[in-house]
Amino acid sequence: MADTADTPDTRTPAQIEADIKRRRETLAETLDEIGVRVHPKTIVGDAKAKVVANVDHTLGRAYVQVNRVVSDVTAKFTDDDGAPRVERIVPVALLAAGVVGLLVLGTRRRKD
């Protein structure tokens, strides 16, 4: 192939035609690939795939964190055998009942 004007082209016309045909086919394939890549459906599909992957990753991390918190809370209210620790459960239950009672009284006073 001749790259510069100083070098004479020694190819035959058939070789030149075959080279042109091969380059046209390569160019057509490249244009087809570009057309697929910039097609709106392809762009939307790629964006959806990225969002789904990010959501899956985020949900997975959230699940691990929630599972860790639940395990920590469970460990505080049960002993090593899995039996409930009444000395820890009763005060928390009483505190929760007191808060609910105060909220109920507060909403009744506002209505009156």
> Could you report the per-residue pLDDT of 34-63, keeping only the tens digit for each?
999 999 999 999 999 999 999 999 999 999
- Tell me the C-alpha distance between 1 and 15, whole Å: 10
Q: Are 88 and 76 in contact (CB under 8 A)?
A: yes
Quickly state the pLDDT bin for 69 (edges 50, 70, 90). very high
Collapsed DSSP state (helix, strand, coil) of residue 4: coil
Predicted TM-score (pTM) above 0.75: no
- Tell me the C-alpha distance between 53 and 74, whole Å: 31
Q: Tokens 């459906």 map to which residue?
A: 41
Q: How far is CA 55 from the centre of its chain?
A: 4
